[in-house]
Amino acid sequence: MSVAFLVAPEGFEQVELTEPWQAVERAGGLPKLISTKAGEVRGFDHLDRADAFHVDAGIDAVGSGDFDALVLPGGLANPDFLRTQPKAVEFVRRFFAEGKPVAAICHALWILVEADLVRGRQVTSWPSLRTDLENAGATWVDEAVVVCTAGTNTLITSRKPDDLPAFDKAIVAEFAEFVRVGKNR
């Protein structure tokens, strides 16, 4: 299974990239780092600059058809930047249109709000996004992880880095289920 991890050039919460990435790898998946431009991206540990990561492909060089699933790490600046990039918003929309699973944690749901993809969905997120999500038509709950199948695809959401064990377990299970039956629907 090929899994896209979409991040901005700077400002994503590093652990929300690295831990799900490792979970996908341990499960035999092939994670690929995608950003709005080729080169390197910079993670953050809350508000502090952290490590640099090599981008596998800029968003201009790939499409949703190149992947089986999408993970959207959070961080405060990351999704705020991505939601202003039409190509990033359209990239995310295509996964929903194609019925592919999408996982988003923390503030990453902002790009889903921008793309009008949470209407009628049950989600969780960093608590400060609750009003944004409810105003966009979602039902927000305060849980470690939410798996919502009430839409065109499976949407896995989580609140914060402390919830990563539950988030990682859910994405591995849901992505594996998609490979097992979802592709053949």
Catalytic residue among 46, 54, 107, 148: 107
Q: At 160, is the secondary structure helix, strand, or coil?
A: coil
Q: What is the spatial distance between Cα 92 and Cα 112, in angstroms, rounded to a whole number?
A: 8
Beta 48-54 vs 40-45: how paired, if at all? antiparallel
3-state SS of the chain: helix, strand, coil percent to 5? Answer: 40, 30, 30
Say whether 46 is catalytic.
no
Say whether 54 is catalytic.
no
CB 43 within 8 A of CB 71: no
Catalytic residues: 106-107
